[in-house]
Amino acid sequence: MSPSVWRAGRFAIDLARPQVMGIVNATPDSFADAGVAATADRAIARCQQLVAEGADILDIGGESTRPGATPVSAETELARIAPVVTAALTMGRAVSVDTSKPEVMQAVLGLGADIVNDVAALRAPGALDLVAAHGTCGVCLMHRRGTAQTMQAERAYVDVVAEVGDFLRERIAAAARAGIALDRLVVDPGIGFAKGAAENLAILARQRELLGLGVPLLVGWSRKATLARLAGLAAVPAAERTPAERERLAVASSVAAVLAVQRGASIVRVHDVASTVAALAVWRAASSAGSSSRDDAETAPRDAGSLGR
């Protein structure tokens, strides 16, 4: 059974309620959000907006991980995110940093960041030992083949769910050997990373199989190309979409978030926090009402006409 609390820096995050991780892309080349947080001031304002909308966790990134994205130096990445992390730490929410570079991890953990969210699952030289030595930060290990430049050519799977599970199981074991406690870990199957629509949907359909890994599951469907296509939209950057098209994709993203939670995800990583929070509130209310109805039915006395034939 997975831990019910995620130990993450300053926080013990209660996973009894699904957690919403709000995305803050402090980059000028984000595919999904048209650079709404491309400067430090705009990224800080974005953090404030997401907190007001109900985000439980702020996930701040300074390098695009979209297919074909150009890598940036650790210095550039850190310059983009350091002032944002510093400001976000005052907002009363767990602060996650989306990075694969040990130099950036060390710097932001030194600032006080609570979580390292690594699309490379701590495979960079030195990353695993650095995070283990920190002792308290939360960690998200994600599945991805290749790099941003090569991953779309590495989408051949025999059984994508089993192969993702095997990879994540190995990274959990590596983290444990390094001394990282299981209650500091969550895993992400990496929707859209070295995966096409068929693979993404197979993971969603069989997501419960990944719960056997023994750590909580974080899932990020938000604004992915698979959802765009299912919603009848072209897979184009956010800047090229009309407001109506963006709203259509936000609805699809919120539905996918609810489906992920229904299938056992403890955390959903999203751009559209307000709509996701609202959708999950409806899901929780319906789930609670359904449980109450079942409990009432089991305890209520039956009359003669209700007895089985």
Is 269 an annotated catalytic residue?
yes
* Candidate from 172-176, 185-189, 272-276, 286-290 with smallest mean pLDDT: 286-290
Residue 256's nearest CA partner among 219, 288, 229 is: 219
Question: Which tokens belong to 69?
Answer: 């994205």
Give the chain's mean pLDDT: 90
Q: Is residue 193 over pLDDT 50?
A: yes
Indicate which residue of 80, 224, 241, 263 is catalytic. Answer: 224
Residue with the bigger pLDDT between 267 and 29: it is: 267
Indicate which residue of 269, 284, 294, 309 is catalytic. Answer: 269
43 in Cβ contact with 74 (< 8 Å): no
169 in Cβ contact with 211 (< 8 Å): no
Please give the average per-residue pLDDT across 209-225, as a whole number: 97
- pLDDT of 36 reads 61
- Note down the domain range covering 90: 5-306
Q: Is residue 303 over pLDDT 50?
A: no
206 in Cβ contact with 189 (< 8 Å): no
- pLDDT category at 145 given cuts 50, 70, 90 is confident
164 in Cβ contact with 191 (< 8 Å): no
Is 224 an annotated catalytic residue?
yes
Question: How many whole angstroms separate alpha carbon 138 and alpha carbon 216?
Answer: 12
How many domains would you assign to the chain? 1
Tell me the CATH number at 41.
3.20.20.20
